[in-house]
Amino acid sequence: MKRKYEIGFLLNPESSDEEVKKITDTVVGIIEKAKGNVENIDEWGRRKLAYPIQKHKEGIYTFINTEVEGKVMLELERRLKLSESVIRFIVIRLDDKLKKANKLTKKWRKLEKITEKTKETMEKTGSDKKFDRKEEVKNEG
Amino acid sequence: MRANNNPDNSRQSKKYYFSRKKYCLFCKDRIKLIDYKNYKILQKFTLETGKIIPARVSGVCSYHQKQLTKAIKRARHMALLKFVEPKRD
């Protein structure tokens, strides 16, 4: 069963552009071997870290969105752990909370319907009084 | 309302202060899932020391607060946000 994942990893700032490409290619290669599809590759590039890691003050960020089987992640995590230029990495399942989130949209739709109805009724019953009053005040003044 | 009935507590009842009704900022913007990469938004829900602001202060609903805490912790792991630091004098 295919699931949506997001992989993010932080690379050593001393690593060259070729090394960055190598690691992204290996990750993409592992995914494509398991017949998964890479949806998006987000390269942030060099960024300052919020706190120093292994005495590095900068890091190179890349994020990859994919849709693959979960078994692939074991091999992927092992590879990322072994490579020395990777400082930190994170793997997140994205479709985890979509069901709950969809419940929220139902709630919001109801709210929007109510607000629309109230607007319509306000228009029918002459909610323009507020504006009229202001104009009246102006006219009186 | 009890305070108004008792004449002894009438002074305390005057201490009432008005505060705007809090609302969930994520519900207002209709955000379904909070992304840990959006560290600029997450930063608004942390103190200067790096602590997470409680929901009773910020007014975030329980559904989004749960996601927020998780997102902040993930962002800390990826060095997008700092961990809790003691206050400097």
Q: Does residue B78 contact residue B36 with C-beta atoms inside 8 Å?
A: yes
Pairwise CB contact (< 8 Å): A88 & B77: yes
B43 domain-assigned: yes
CATH for B63: 4.10.640.10
The per-residue pLDDT string of chain A (141 residues; one tens digit each, 9 = 90 and over) reads 888 889 998 998 888 888 889 888 988 898 888 888 888 888 888 888 888 888 888 889 999 999 888 888 888 888 888 988 888 899 988 877 777 777 778 888 888 888 888 888 877 776 555 555 555 555 554
How far is the C-alpha of B36 from the C-alpha of B78, rounded, in Å? 9
A8-17, B14-23, B55-64: range with lowest mean pLDDT:
B14-23
Name residues 93-122 of chain A within 8 A of B (Cβ): 94, 97-98, 100-102, 104-105, 108
B11 domain-assigned: no
B64 domain-assigned: yes
Domain locations along chain A: 2-93, 98-140
Q: Domain of B30? A: 22-89
The nearest alpha carbon in chain A to B39 belongs to A50
Q: Does residue B77 contact residue B47 with C-beta atoms inside 8 Å?
A: no
The pLDDT assigned to B1 comes to: 47
B63 domain-assigned: yes
**Which run of H or E residues covers position A44?**
strand A37-53
- A58: which 2 tokens? 């900068």
Which ipTM was obtained for this model? 0.73
B64 interfacial to chain A (CB closer than 8 Å): no
B32 domain-assigned: yes
- A108: which 2 tokens? 């919001």
The SS3 of residue A62 is strand
CATH code of the domain made up of A2-93: 3.30.70.60
B30 domain-assigned: yes
Token look-up 């997001």 returns A6
DSSP classification of residue A48? E
Q: Nearest CA to B78 among A47, A2, A94, A79?
A: A47
* Single-letter residue type at B3: A
CA distances, A68 to each of A2, A34, A50, B55 (Å) = 5, 7, 31, 36
Binned at pLDDT 50, 70 and 90, residue B76 comes out as: very high
Number of domains in chain B: 1
